A and B are shown apart, each in its own frame.
Chain A
Amino acid sequence: MNRHLLSTADLSRDDALLILDTAEQLSQVSDRSIKKLPTLRGRTVVNLFFEDSTRTRISFEAAAKRLSADVINFSAKGSSVSKGESLKDTALTLQAMGADAVVIRHGASGAPHRLANWLDGSVVNAGDGTHEHPTQALLDAFTMRRRLGDLDGRRVTIVGDVLHSRVARSNVHLLHTLGAEVTLVAPPTLVPVAMGEWPCEVSYDFDAVLPKSDVVMMLRVQHERMNASYFPSAREYSRRYGLDPERLGKMPDGAIVMHPGPMNRGMEIAAEVADSERSTIVEQVTNGVTVRMAVLYLLLSGSEPAIGGNQ
């Protein structure tokens, strides 16, 4: 394993599988009545969140606590950061406090990479700007494996604002590494201009891709896109790129519907679809804790034997 988890693009197939397999073992902990392991006792994990994201932060917090790590939540709002402290000074402060791992969410693409230059401990990217969100992709892959088995040759369709989506970037790289075939579907305005080197297909026609999809992953449409001429209106977006019950019917039997949350019900995904049994949206949340436990465990536990002892 690398010392940091910054991007799925630099995650090898072996490392990706190690994380997913470790998560599988750790998931047994979540089924116990006492959901706690002593593995990271005495280690300090800092959740450094420059953007509001209660979901991701509490998922990381739960993961670290189940491994008995000490957790410090550092929210940029109301802290020295909002008074102009630089990212570097924040890093040096955390370093001086003995942080073993820093989980960072930041609005600037690449902020975790910069942070990693200034810290001795591990850095986990919990979402950086419009770049990556690697643990989201890992929990998505974990969820797909549980539902569909091996991902080799599986057809995954990711629909929505690819241009601004860190979830899409992380998923494209990871799913490619794991052998899946990825198709991105979006209005042309929301696709990066030079996609030639991405290991995936691009389509503007959702209906044509649906019957060939084992997984359909819907991305959240951010509110600020709606008034910036990326598409004419929310209604038109929903008609062309929303997943409604009719489109759900075009998917193959056994195909699943995913969404990283939070959803815009009625916009990119209809309520009936989100609540259908094909939807994995609630499982994704559960699996998020498990996968994040695996990441923290592998980054922080060093050469100690893994849980279950069969690594």
Chain B
Amino acid sequence: MTYLLKGARVLGGEPKDVLIEGGCITAVGAPGEVDGTGASHVDAGGLIALPGLVDLHTHLREPGREDAETVESGTAAAALGGFTAVHAMANTSPVADTAGVVEQVWRLGQEAGHCDVQPVGAVTAGLLGRQLAELGAMADSAAHVRVFSDDGVCVSDAVLMRRALEYVKAFDGVVAQHAQEPRLTEGAQMNEGSVSGRLGLTGWPAVAEEAIIARDCLLAAHVGSRLHVCHVSTAGSVEIIRWAKSKGWNVTAEVTPHHLLLTDTCAEISPAGSYNPIYKVNPPLRTQADVQALREALADGTIDCVATDHAPHPVEDKETEWPAAAMGMIGLETALSVVQEAMIETGLLDWAGVADRMSARPARIGRLSGHGRRLRAGAPANLTLVDPSVRWAVDPGGFASKSRNTPYQGMTLPGRVVATFLRGRPTVLEGKLT
């Protein structure tokens, strides 16, 4: 199929017509100047065209927890959120620590067809932190794994982390670390601060994250490897990463949409009542000062990208008392809106900046050559069209995700994805799955 996107504001600029043929963008020109004879016309007037979003951190839960999410439902949610590629985290059951499992997940993604699924491989066998998983086998598999992470668990053993960082150099891999010092966070429930003190919930100190990030930056520098820091949540972490980057070390970092918008006070005062574990997440929601530091770091590039940490859980795992509840929140279908609210509406980023932080940079970190490209003739037609002018009330009942654990229920957020194209094929049109 051939498509002519009429009047799309590429990266928020002047309206352009964009022609898509044979899976690629073949022409971008002033309105009326691109010959769209025979093409299917898409009215993109007023819509922003962005390169298809890339998520470095998605939990698709398959295999193992298909009650919470499947590759099919999770990637449908991703497409509706404007994503054309997601990195599927390794903490499935069985763990994605062998070539067989990563190839299975990769193939399920191909079959679903809503977006590219790039499996993340576990760093250690079974996420147990004892010995390295067969990283090379996963790298050489059909899934071409380049990002390795024990996400959900920290590779806390300094020697094992050093070895992993060194080993993945052989195939240009990167270790994405879930920075959480285990002893400092035993039984931890929420950010350690005035709110945790009042609520009597065990505190999760910022230093538990920062100490691991500092150590890992030093290790990455020592062995000359690439380090990626998952879901940075504190102002102190930002300072450490800024310092590491100033040294020229190969360190990248991500922040989640929820850490750009929500604070630990949600646990105490929210429309959903106090102690509602819909706000329980790892790493925990922090303070307003942390939120501000994270936004500024994303704006100045200290934090490279936004990653959703989309973490689906069935209702019964959240409809409990706080300490018994599962950690995590879904985010694929709200990520772009939250970033618009936190970064665009505040003037911290423009749409070109959003394209960089949600597509180009995560694609580069994950070594996905077909994604995150500039929207010009010759590039693969991976793109999304966003209407920035609408505001919508979040209703998880309408989500494609199988899970409903969104902290934004009832909130009104700006911006909606109207269409998403994966290699020239629409996965979403008029805001609906094709």
Contacts and interface: CB of A to CB of B under 8 A. Distances in A.
Contacts of A128: 200
B323 interface: yes
Contacts of A129: 200-201, 323
B33 interface: no
A129 B324 CA distance: 12
A195 interface: yes
Where chain B touches its partner, the secondary structure class is loop
Contacts of A88: 319-320
Given A88-B320, A129-B323, A110 B197 contact: no
A109 B201 CA distance: 6
B247 interface: no
Interface in B199-244: 199-203, 205
A87 to B, nearest CB: 6
A117 to B, nearest CB: 6
A193 B193 contact: yes
A246 B79 CA distance: 73
B141 interface: no
Shortest beta-carbon contacts, A-B, top 9: A110-B275, A131-B200, A192-B197, A130-B200, A108-B321, A194-B194, A109-B200, A111-B321, A108-B323
Contacts of B322: 108-110, 114
Contact of A193 (B192, B200, B273): B192
A230 interface: no
Contacts of A111: 275, 321
B196 interface: yes
B319 A110 contact: no
A111 B320 CA distance: 8
B321 A110 contact: yes
B193 A166 contact: no
A233 interface: no
Contacts of B189: 109
Given A110-B274, A110-B275, A87 B321 contact: yes
11 contacts: A86-B320, A109-B275, A109-B323, A110-B201, A113-B274, A117-B273, A131-B200, A169-B198, A192-B197, A194-B197, A195-B197
Contacts of B274: 110, 113
Nearest to B322: A110
A132 interface: yes
Contacts of B276: 114
Interface of A: 9, 86-88, 106, 108-111, 113-114, 117, 128-132, 166, 169, 192-198
Contacts of A86: 316, 319-320
Where chain A touches its partner, the secondary structure class is loop
Interface core residue of B192, B200, B316, B324 (most chain A CB under 10 Å): B200
B140 to A, nearest CB: 43
Interface of B: 189, 192-194, 196-203, 205, 273-276, 316, 319-324
A198 B193 CA distance: 12
Nearest to A169: B200
Contact of B194 (A109, A110, A131, A196): A196
Nearest to A193: B192
Contacts of A87: 320-321, 324
Given A130-B200, A193-B203, A114 B194 contact: no
Given A194-B194, A195-B197, A113 B275 contact: yes
Nearest to B202: A130
B269 to A, nearest CB: 11
B197 A198 contact: yes
B128 to A, nearest CB: 25
B273 A113 contact: yes
A110 B320 contact: no
Interface core residue of A9, A87, A108, A196 (most chain B CB under 10 Å): A108
Contact of A194 (B193, B319, B320, B324): B193
A106 B324 CA distance: 12
B188 to A, nearest CB: 13
A70 B266 CA distance: 38
Contacts of B320: 86-88, 114
A166 B200 contact: yes
A110 B199 contact: yes
Given A109-B275, A114-B276, A114-B322, 9 more contacts: A87-B324, A108-B321, A108-B322, A108-B324, A110-B275, A114-B320, A166-B200, A169-B198, A194-B197
Contacts of A130: 200-202
Contacts of B196: 192, 194
A109 B324 CA distance: 10
A115 B339 CA distance: 34
A194 B206 CA distance: 13
A130 B197 CA distance: 9
Contacts of A114: 273, 275-276, 320-322
A293 to B, nearest CB: 27
Nearest to B275: A110
Contacts of A108: 321-324
A108 B276 CA distance: 13
A117 B319 CA distance: 11
Contacts of A195: 194, 197
Contacts of A194: 192-194, 196-197
B199 A109 contact: yes
B210 to A, nearest CB: 15
Nearest to A115: B321
Nearest to A173: B198
A131 B199 contact: yes
B339 to A, nearest CB: 30
A171 to B, nearest CB: 13
B319 to A, nearest CB: 5
A198 B198 CA distance: 8
Interface core residue of B198, B205, B319 (most chain A CB under 10 Å): B198
Contacts of B192: 193-194
A132 B273 contact: no
